[in-house]
Structure 1
């Protein structure tokens, strides 16, 4: 069975409000404040995703149970998104940073250039070559 796309904007504001356990007017306020910004249909109607509903629930929890004001919640959400992006970037770069042997050379301006496994440095790059072996823990 195929998993639903959590980012697909499928819920009208009334359905999203019901799923999140709050009033539709609260969702409109959060949209104006930039806390949870749904996608818009060509006619301007809001459409919420499952991820948006989960975020609405988290905003409600932080506000009611933790006593965090909306400005604080906005900052937390912004930082959380940033962390997610950075974690994705780390995972993307992880294969290049393995602990095995690494080969470096210098570029035309003297900057260090990583030579990918199985590749050669470009001709316009320096002639100095260093093989680095990371210490094993």
Structure 2
């Protein structure tokens, strides 16, 4: 499943609740607490994506381990920050690779230029 597909709203609240193994009122409560933010249709119907379902499953896992919703909120926030930093690091690595390629290219040009400049010129008779 592509990343964009994971965020596509597919499930109404009753289906999302069933997939997550919770009551629809629990989803409303999680939304009110900011734990999940379903998209809305023009008629204001909540629509959940696969990414939302995965997040709900993580929330269930954490709460079943005894973590309260305030702790879950903090964990999810930290996880989001970590994901942001990992994306930044990946971008920086790509930038370093591009710069290293450019340096090699410039060094090669300089070497070729030095060879051409040093090479004796032959005169034609």
Output the TM-score relative to the length of structure 2.
0.74
What is aligned with 1:86?
Answer: 85
Task: Please identify the structure whose Cα radius of gyration is greater.
Answer: 2
1:101 Cα offset (Å): 5.9
SS in 2 for 1:78: helix
SS in 2 for 1:47: strand
Could you list the structure 1 runs, at least 4 aligned residues long, displaced by more than 6 angstroms after superposition: none
| Corresponding residue pairs, total | 102
The answer as to 2:46 corresponding to 1:46 is yes
Which has the bigger relative contact order, CA under 8 A and spacing at least 6? 2
Choose between structure 1 and 2: higher helix proportion: 2
Render the CA deviation track for 1:11-50: whole Å, top value 9, x for unaligned: 0000000000110000000000000111111221111000
Structure 1 unaligned segments of length 5 or more: list them.
103-115, 120-137
Say what the alpha-carbon RMSD is for the aligned residues. Answer: 2.1
What is aligned with 2:24?
Answer: 24
Q: 1:17, 1:91 → 2: CA distance? A: 35
What is aligned with 1:131?
Answer: none
Q: 2:47, 2:19 → 1: CA distance? A: 13
Choose between structure 1 and 2: higher strand proportion: 1
Structure 2 unaligned segments of length 5 or more: list them.
107-125
Output the TM-score relative to the length of structure 1.
0.67
